[in-house]
């Protein structure tokens, strides 16, 4: 199985069986994100323990790319500080924009690297970055 097949499988798995797609009771922060060009719509909910993101979840609807990207992002940010999460957002967006391709730097993104080739599909870029921009806006509110 080639790497592209593994990445496709990972995206489909997160889209179909996202353990991160649910509401959080007593969320400390909630941020809505919407992509008017295709209708992707998410609400990201976060809980904090001091400066750490202790829990995260989302609700909403959209294409497989947006739903998988959100779920993968949540797996990545749980247990991270606000500063670490914001750094991951910047790295992910830079990867999608093809601003960085240093494998060492991209390894921080773990499973989110599966979305790297979305940059070759301009119509899907907004789908992939919706949750990341939503997280950035939410964390700006928290600071």
Q: What domains sit in the chain, N to C, each tagged with a CATH number? A: 3-142 (3.90.1010.10)
Those residues whose C-beta lies under 8 Å from the C-beta of residue 119, and which sit 6 or more positions away, are: 95, 96, 97, 98, 125
Single pTM value for the model: 0.93
List pLDDT tens digits, range 77-94.
999 999 999 999 999 999
pLDDT averaged over the chain?
92
């Amino acid at each position: 199985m080639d790497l592209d097949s593994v990445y496709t499988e990972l995206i489909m798995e997160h889209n179909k069986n996202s353990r991160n797609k649910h509401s959080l009771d007593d969320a400390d922060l909630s941020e809505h994100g919407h992509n008017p060009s295709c209708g992707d719509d998410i609400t990201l909910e976060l809980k904090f323990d001091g400066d750490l993101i202790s829990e995260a979840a989302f609700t909403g609807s959209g294409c497989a790319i947006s739903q998988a990207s959100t779920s993968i992002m949540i797996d990545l940010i749980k247990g991270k500080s606000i500063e670490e999460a914001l750094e991951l957002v910047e790295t992910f967006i830079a990867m999608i924009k093809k601003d960085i391709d240093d494998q060492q730097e991209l390894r921080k993104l773990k499973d989110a690297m599966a979305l790297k080739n979305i940059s070759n599909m301009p119509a899907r870029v907004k789908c992939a970055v919706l949750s990341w921009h939503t997280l950035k806006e939410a964390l700006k509110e928290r600071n």
